[in-house]
Structure 1
């Protein structure tokens, strides 16, 4: 998965206003206590980040999973 696809999915689920805030501010345990943005900066694979987001947001639609 490319970073652009990760961002697209985040925006599709959280909306254009909330997705950037979620990426910057929400800390995910599966990412070592890092936010999405921090995990990307550290070199985490975008697919791994997305799996962690899905695990923490079970209401994400099947189309985005």
Structure 2
């Protein structure tokens, strides 16, 4: 997964106006206590970050 696909999925899940804010503010334990944005900046693969976001948001399996 590329960063562009990650952000597209975030926009789909949370809406384009909220996705970036949420990714900047919501700390996820599975990502080492980092936000999605911090994890991406630290080099965590977007697919791994998305899997953590998917679990936190309790999205349906079709969104995985």
- Give the number of equivalent residue pairs: 64
Answer 1 or 2: which has greater strand percent. Answer: 2
With a CA cutoff of 8 Å and minimum separation of 6, indicate the structure with the bigger relative contact order. Answer: 1
Unpaired runs of 5+ in structure 1? none
Partner of residue 7, structure 1: 7
Between the aligned partners of 2:2 and 2:28, the Cα distance in structure 1 is 20
Structure 2 residues without counterparts, runs of 5 or longer = none
Structure 1 CA distance for aligned equivalents of residues 61 and 13 of structure 2: 11
**Which structure has the highest helix share of the two?**
2
Scaled by the length of structure 2, what TM-score is found?
0.92
CA shift, 1:62, in A, is 3.5
Name the counterpart of 2:54. 54
Could you report, residue by residue, the CA deviation over 1:3-54 in whole angstroms, capped at 9, with x for unpaired residues? 0000000000100111011111110000000011100110001000000001
